[in-house]
Amino acid sequence: MIGVRPPFASVLLSGALALAACHSAPVKPSEQIQIPRFYGTEALRQDLGALFKQPYSDTQAVDVVFATDRAAGGDPTECDDTAFGIKPADKLSYGVCTFNVPKRHQVGGFEFAPNPRADPHQYYRKLGYAPLDESALADRLRRQPGADILVFIHGFNVRFQEALARSAQIAYDLKFQGPVVLFSWPAGAEESLFGSTRVTRTYADNLSSALKSVPLAQAFFKQLSGLDRTVHVMVHSMGHQVALRALAELAQQTPKPFIGELILNAPDIPVKDFELLMPQVEKITGRVTLYCSYNDNAIAASETYNKNRRMGGCERVPGVDVINVGEIDAPALGIGGLGHGYYASRPILTDVSQTLLGVPAEQRLFIRKSEPNSTEDYYLRP
């Protein structure tokens, strides 16, 4: 496993070592180095200032690089659901969609402009598109020296345009400084969900698509592993069926550590499968953080359908920081009323931001240790 440190962490470590050296090897007063009283705090301020050069404090154009195994449909320049649909393709397509992310959008949400004259500081809109191939994708991601990469993999019943917009929203709300890459697998439904029979059919179809996407997702991650960049991966719901299986297979072939933070949200994957996959995944990952909830009705429905325990319902696994968010995400208040969409909300992104900076779970704001014999390691306080 790798230890990925942000720039300021290295500076703080150097400062700590310097202080330790002063204690272990006394020097004459004339030779003493004058260290500022708040050396660590000042170093932290300076390095955070250098890190967050792009403040995301106003309406912003956000580029979302994408790789998808959805079959192409209409005009890809539209970056909408007609461009790439819900049918699978036998190869990956690449591109960049640029979105206007309004400064007045609610954290965790997005709403597209109802007309061309709608307030750009209130609504999302597509600003541009550029095609890429595999080589151009690698070149683009290498343009920002030292910048980490954030990969987002969506979950069940998410269409292409929503996945793009969600990627832009997460990047903006996190103030993420490096490239944001969406891996979009063929999720979605032919018609709007209505009735248990249609929901069940859509779930089965999406699960089948997720499993079929694993080989192409593995090829995608293999390409990222050769970029000499730290890659952070954020996954939601059924997307774990794609991401974790692909990463486990890649680790068996070329166990090269390249993932810094692996952030798992409401994993719709069997506990037993997760426990089997993680020893391989951890070979190429620095740290694994998992958010779960007792109040997730979508996970409860999945457990009923699949007749097994899912990781999104909380289960303690060695080597994984399992964080229960049930106290902040009751279904009555959760996105869609399911208690399943918390991954893009303010409380989760606040914790994810600290996670990406390398802060240990027990030192992050609003995290407390769980009681002995709990099914998780930590609780995220409301």
Question: 70-111: per-residue pLDDT in tens?
Answer: 999 989 999 999 999 999 999 999 999 999 999 999 888 889
234/152 Cα distance (integer angstroms): 5
Q: Are residues 321 and 200 in the same domain?
A: yes
Q: Are residues 213 and 77 in the same domain?
A: yes
What total of structural domains would you count in the chain?
2
Q: Are residues 46 and 70 in the same domain?
A: no
Residue 118 DSSP one-character state: S
Q: Are residues 136 and 26 in the same domain?
A: no
Place of tokens 């208690």: 339
Q: Are residues 39 and 139 in the same domain?
A: no
DSSP 3-state assignment of 296? coil
Residue 22 DSSP one-character state: H
338/331 Cα distance (integer angstroms): 5
CA angle 253, 258, 260 (to 5 degrees): 135
Q: Are residues 72 and 20 in the same domain?
A: no
Instruction: Tell me, yes or no, whether 371 lies in a domain.
Output: yes
Q: Are residues 189 and 291 in the same domain?
A: yes
Taking only the tens place, the pLDDT of each residue in 184-232 is 999 998 765 554 457 888 999 999 999 999 999 999 999 999 998 999 9
Q: Are residues 231 and 256 in the same domain?
A: yes
Q: Are residues 70 and 42 in the same domain?
A: no
- 191 is in which domain, residue-wise? 60-380
Instruction: Tell me, yes or no, whether 2 lies in a domain.
Output: no
14/11 Cα distance (integer angstroms): 5
Taking only the tens place, the pLDDT of each residue in 270-328 is 999 999 999 999 999 999 999 999 989 999 999 999 999 999 999 999 999 999 999 88
Instruction: Tell me, yes or no, whether 1 lies in a domain.
Output: no
Q: Are residues 174 and 35 in the same domain?
A: no
Instruction: Tell me, yes or no, whether 320 lies in a domain.
Output: yes
Instruction: Tell me, yes or no, whether 253 lies in a domain.
Output: yes
Is residue 287 a contact partner of residue 260, using CB atoms and an 8 Å limit? yes
319/289 Cα distance (integer angstroms): 9
Taking only the tens place, the pLDDT of each residue in 122-143 is 999 999 999 999 999 999 999 8
Single-letter amino acid, residue 160: F
Q: What integer is the mean pLDDT of 8-24?
A: 37
Q: Are residues 107 and 213 in the same domain?
A: yes
Instruction: Tell me what pLDDT residue 13 has.
Output: 35
Half-sphere exposure (CA, 13 Å, Cβ side) for 81?
Answer: 10
CATH of the domain at 112: 3.40.50
Mean pLDDT of the chain: 86
Q: Are residues 252 and 133 in the same domain?
A: yes
Q: Which residue blocks in the chain are alpha helix, DSSP H?
A: 7-24, 39-51, 134-141, 160-174, 196-212, 214-225, 239-253, 271-281, 297-306, 346-356
